[in-house]
Chains A and B, each alone.
Chain A
Amino acid sequence: MARYITVRLFHGAIVIILISLLTFIVLRLMPGDPVFLLLGEGQVRISEEQIQAIRTRWGLDKSYPEQYLIWAGNMFTGNFGESIIRTGVPVRDMILEAAPVTLQLNVYSMLLALALSVPLGIWAAVKRNTAVDYASSVISVVGIATPNFWLSLMLIILFSLMLGWLPPFGLRSWQGFIMPVIVLAIEQMAVFTRVMRSSTIEALKQDYVRTATAKGLSRNAVILGHAVRNSLLPLVTVIGFNIAFLLSGTIVVETIFALPGIGRLFTDSIFRLDYQVVQSLVVVLAVLVVAANLLTDLVYAVIDPRIRISR
């Protein structure tokens, strides 16, 4: 087990280094010069000397390998550099400021989605090919098919403009979370419900379920005590995958509801060629994905003793 974790960690480190290198190169290949973006427009006259001074100020005059090594070296010490656009603010602070917003959005919406989709999935499986099952299918399909931005705007129009119950944007109060969380939950719920339904159907077919029924257990005890326990496993895979993206994937919702999260920081920074922010964020996200994958694999072993980690 210890050996397995060590090997996985080693692989993870290589992946992260490659990702950081690739991100660094791709960003430099992107056309455009951050200095000119910094200058904005309407500058009266700026001399080559002044442009050079700005470059020096931000370390953009150094060679690419040198820039990469400085940045990578700093990353190890937890120093992600400074944002060019939000001049001088440490990138780490920007990420730490934005992360809680996205994290909360994702956690709340995942919990809400699970709370709704697990019972719905089980119910649909038990009442297979009845109205309940079809209804849950329709809800899932609609949930997946509804575009985020459209649903967000419709909710704002309904709850803010027409009813006046909720603020149209921002996180000034806890009410600000309600609409974004609903939008994100509906999307995830669709997937969770389908997974839960099919794995429960699968579990209900198993011999041990028939045995449990045969020995006279109540229907609820059979379903909840025997079938569902086993049908949760596929859901854990999906959740594990979602955890890896807890800090991303909310770009649209963050933009519409004006929430200062990671998604907006990321897209804003790409458009503004804020190299330090983009490359640092990519590495942070890569670390999270690698760690979450490892964690998911380990959790399997705990939940299901039949799975043994080999090598």
Chain B
Amino acid sequence: MNTEGRSTTSGGRRLTRRDFLRATAVGGSAAVFLAACAPAGAPTGGAAPTTAAGEAPVAGAPKQGGTMVWLGHQEVAGLSPDDAGPDVQAVMINNIHNPLVYYNEFNELELVLADSYEIAEDGLTYTFKLKEGVKFHDGSDFTSADVKYTWDYYRNPDNGAVRAGLFTGVSEIETPDDLTVVVKMATINAASLANWASFPIVQSTYHAEVGESTYRTAPIGTGAYKLKEWRAAEFTELEAFEDHFRGRPNIDIIRLEVVPEPSVRTIALQTGDADATVWPLLVEDSLSFAQDPNYVVLKALGNSIKHFPLNNSLPQLSDKRVRQAMMYGLDRERIVADLWQGAASVAHSNIPPSSFYYDPNLKQYPYDVEQAKALLDEAGWVPGSDGVRAKDGVRLSFTMTTITGDQARRPIAEFAQQQLKEIGVEIQLAEAPVASILEGLRNGTLESSIFNWTYNNGAIEPDPFSTLHSTGGNNFNQFKNAEMDRLIEEGLQVVDPEERRKYYDQIQAIFVEEVPCLYLQYDEWLNVFSARVKGLPVDPKASTVWFYRAHEWWLD
């Protein structure tokens, strides 16, 4: 959910160039506290853990058995693939179900239920060959009929599925035989593999019989774990599925406990009542666990930008020079270092640095008060007697509405208020619940806020339609730029990545020049694990999806 403001669809893939550099630099800071976490030969592919173990002599052979407790921050509201909730839901759903393909924690496309796939030259036909001998939890065989049923059900507008938008462009799904699925597209959708092809598959006859409402409470998938007990607000318990196609998982029971209070989650890890956090702790707590050899901290940079959305339709914010001046007027390095304990990286684009589409040569906004003042002078905003600039009777002042109770991000808003005062910009602070803020920004009645949101579609997919297109559903900035609209629309029609890159280079250039919002930083996403958990990935690039690999872990 967006309370904490970050992408959750299709698992949230994150990586950065900085992480990549760290990974390659021997003895880099990231490598230091990750060194103990996993054997050098830890399985990263789809191979069964028992066979991969031979390659990992350091940590010993995987052991069977045990219960692993995960900590989440809010209830697991439902377990259908359509439950586009926060990570706590996604990690449960994806351990119960499998998709055909998905982008794993190294941002590599991994085949799961698919044995192979082929995309036609024109980008309008996708052919998937399915793995043989895959069983559902009820013992039935997995076939192409399940794939067709799942995709058809969730893309059908009559069923009111929340994630129907993932299936944009799909026109028809054919099943020539039990192990082949052919998808015909009406329009090209360059994001297909990251979107609909990563959608978890349900057991078709069972789902058709019980319906979506019941299915959410009692799912049947092909995943390594099957649902044992579900008490939404309390815990969700999964048990090993003996006949899983990648082999029986090592850990017998996985239990996700819902613990809303972050300090209690920290204590539960310290007392040994829990083995991992799915939802991050307070940054300072995670960083102190990173110093402790009894814990392993996995981290990766998020795709969502921590930013101040700005209502571009306001007279005082409509001039791009004003917005640029505010970028110069903010010491973003200091926000990262002092207010975020260094667990973030200053943003220079709407696309995360590690993405294939990231352009490293974009215009940047270093902290430069003089430059900021010069821009405002040039734009005709003159300081008034109270120090606040004004032009044509309009004061350069706006209200920033932070999320009620958002202790973590509120200090950044206060810091910005102080800093921008220096250049003659006045910010008033207010608070409101997250639902009102999102609605107010969408319909243009709010002026500004602070939260994390993706201005891309993950590290894999660069499309920013939802946030930067003038008709996008999340156009928080009321940003209307015809050139941007055209580039976004055309970018989605191109399949070849090299060809596509040109469109996103231009999109990024417009983004940094126009400054639709004040973009601050990409946050690091930290998950703490007890050191008794073995088989964890080494230096992953994308957060949260590492939990989809729980079947390869074991407890020491």
The answer, among B7, B162, B233, for a CB contact under 8 Å with A265, is: B233
Are B271 and A44 closer than 8 Å at their CB atoms?
no
A161 nearest CB across to chain B (Å): 5
User: Taking beta carbons and an 8 Å cutoff, which residues of B are in contact with A?
Assistant: 1-3, 5-10, 12, 74-75, 77-78, 80, 82-86, 157-166, 168, 191, 195, 212-214, 216-217, 231-235, 257-261, 263-264, 267-268, 270-271, 273, 432-436, 438-440, 442, 453-454, 457-458, 463, 465-466, 472-474
Given known A41-B454, A42-B8, contact A88–B85 (CB-CB < 8 A): no
Given known A30-B436, A97-B231, contact A86–B466 (CB-CB < 8 A): no
Are B191 and A33 closer than 8 Å at their CB atoms?
no
Given known A45-B465, A161-B270, contact A40–B264 (CB-CB < 8 A): no
Given known A41-B7, A54-B162, contact A49–B191 (CB-CB < 8 A): no
| In the A-B complex, the 9 residue pairs with the closest CB atoms | A32-B435, A88-B213, A57-B160, A260-B233, A42-B7, A31-B436, A46-B165, A42-B9, A260-B234
Contacts of B438 in A (CB 8 A): 32, 36-37
Contacts of A94 in B (CB 8 A): 232
Given A39-B84, A39-B162, A42-B10, output 6 extra A-B contacts at Cβ < 8 Å. A32-B438, A41-B9, A42-B8, A45-B466, A54-B161, A170-B257
B528 nearest CB across to chain A (Å): 15
The 19 listed contacts between A and B (C-beta, < 8 Å) are A30-B435, A31-B436, A38-B162, A40-B2, A40-B85, A41-B9, A41-B474, A42-B8, A44-B195, A44-B457, A47-B165, A50-B157, A89-B213, A89-B216, A156-B264, A161-B267, A168-B271, A256-B261, A258-B260
* Residue A273 at the chain B interface, CB threshold 8 Å: yes
The CA-CA distance from A265 to B268 in the complex, in Å, is: 22
A85 nearest CB across to chain B (Å): 5
Contacts of A160 in B (CB 8 A): 267, 271, 273
Are B233 and A43 closer than 8 Å at their CB atoms?
no
Which residue of B has the minimal Cβ distance to A149?
Answer: B261
Are B213 and A32 closer than 8 Å at their CB atoms?
no
Contacts of A161 in B (CB 8 A): 267, 270-271
Which residue of B has the minimal Cβ distance to A261?
Answer: B233
A148 nearest CB across to chain B (Å): 12
The CA-CA distance from A256 to B424 in the complex, in Å, is: 43
A83 nearest CB across to chain B (Å): 8
The CA-CA distance from A254 to B454 in the complex, in Å, is: 33
The CA-CA distance from A171 to B466 in the complex, in Å, is: 42
Are A98 and B233 closer than 8 Å at their CB atoms?
yes
* Residue A121 at the chain B interface, CB threshold 8 Å: no
Which residue of B has the minimal Cβ distance to A160?
Answer: B271
B201 nearest CB across to chain A (Å): 19
Contacts of A260 in B (CB 8 A): 75, 231-234, 258
Contacts of B231 in A (CB 8 A): 97, 260
* Residue A167 at the chain B interface, CB threshold 8 Å: yes
Residue in A36, A40, A82, A157 whose Cβ sees the most chain B Cβ within 10 Å: A40
Contacts of A30 in B (CB 8 A): 433, 435-436
The CA-CA distance from A75 to B166 in the complex, in Å, is: 37
A159 nearest CB across to chain B (Å): 10
Contacts of A273 in B (CB 8 A): 435
